[in-house]
Amino acid sequence: MTHLLNQLFKQREPLLALMIVVLIGLVGLRAPVFLTGASLANLLTDSTLLVMLALTQMLVIVTRGIDLSVASNLALSGMVAAMLAAGNPGLPLPLVVLAAMLTGLALGLVNGWLIGYLALPPIVITLGTMSVYRGLVFVLSGGAWVSAHQMPAEFVAFPLTRVLGLPHLVWIAIAALFAMAFIARHTRFGRDLYAIGNAPQCAGYIGIPTKKRLLWTYGLSGLVAGLCGYLWVARYAVAYTEIAYGFEFTVIAACVIGGVSIAGGVGSVLGAMLGALFLSVIGNALPVLQVSPFWQSALTGLVILVAVLVNARGAKNRSRQILPLHTTATPTMKSAA
């Protein structure tokens, strides 16, 4: 039994889940209101957008890439949805959501094409598009806000409308979780991403279409960012140029805390989700404890540093090779020679 527990907690996910439970319990001891049903429900709802973005960011990082433009994509897609709904109150909500998702997809495919087909560095490309997309939010809106009174009631109400006791936001996040888990574990697309991250040259040798895979990985990241753009502006009933400013770093932090290796090839959907939940607990706990929000950044940074150290230590014992290397000639090869 002891051996089983030791093996269990050598894995990142069970240990992180335990830390989340302990953290919630410790905060509850200091502020019992944190353990009320309403507070925990609010925590779950608050974590949904971060969870969804972390899931696709995980797939990007697995390929040895990174998407720094995800928050700017969210802001631009959200502004498109808000302005479209405000200017056309009679437009069906599914079309508005589709417009946001297609906007995000297009922006993501731009990243994927530049990175996959032109072989440009992901951090440089997405750093550049992060600024471009954020600037386009201002150009599109002229710097003006789209407020709640300008948005149709259905547009604003949808994210928090409850079905079977849970808001749409939570159901959408659950659907995204299962979809990403299926993609990562049970599709050739997902397996190819891990192969690319483990050994890019070997992946090419065995016929993996790396360029195409990278194109659609960033496209998927953009698609989910577009959906989150609508959900963000609808939930908070406001769209402005600074939406989700800096949120991309929180998304990346969630992945790193969840055990996703920046070096590529390692990461899980469950880990990314738990990393997002961990940061959401910290974000919701500090105001309850009346701690300055500046401490949130400091604590998040400290947690990231610890997570990186743990990841680096684990990487020493992990082989990243996907094809066997034959350093000596086999008897058949010798006889052929």
pLDDT for residue 105: 97
Rounded to the nearest integer, the mean pLDDT of the chain is: 86
Q: Could you say which residues of the chain have pLDDT below 70?
A: 1-10, 293, 310-337
Q: Name the region of 67 (left: φ>0; alpha: ψ -120 to 50; beta: rest).
A: beta
pLDDT for residue 85: 93
Contacts 24+ apart (CB under 8 A), 98-104: 100/226, 100/227, 100/229, 100/230, 101/77, 101/223, 101/226, 101/227, 101/230, 102/226, 103/76, 103/77, 103/226, 103/229, 104/73, 104/74, 104/77, 104/222, 104/223, 104/224, 104/225, 104/226, 104/227, 104/229
pLDDT for residue 315: 56
C-alpha 169/C-alpha 159 separation (Å) is: 5
Question: How far is the CA of 236 from the CAs of 158, 201, 232, in angstroms?
Answer: 11, 45, 6
pLDDT for residue 333: 40
What is the value of pTM for the model shown?
Answer: 0.87
C-alpha 141/C-alpha 87 separation (Å) is: 12
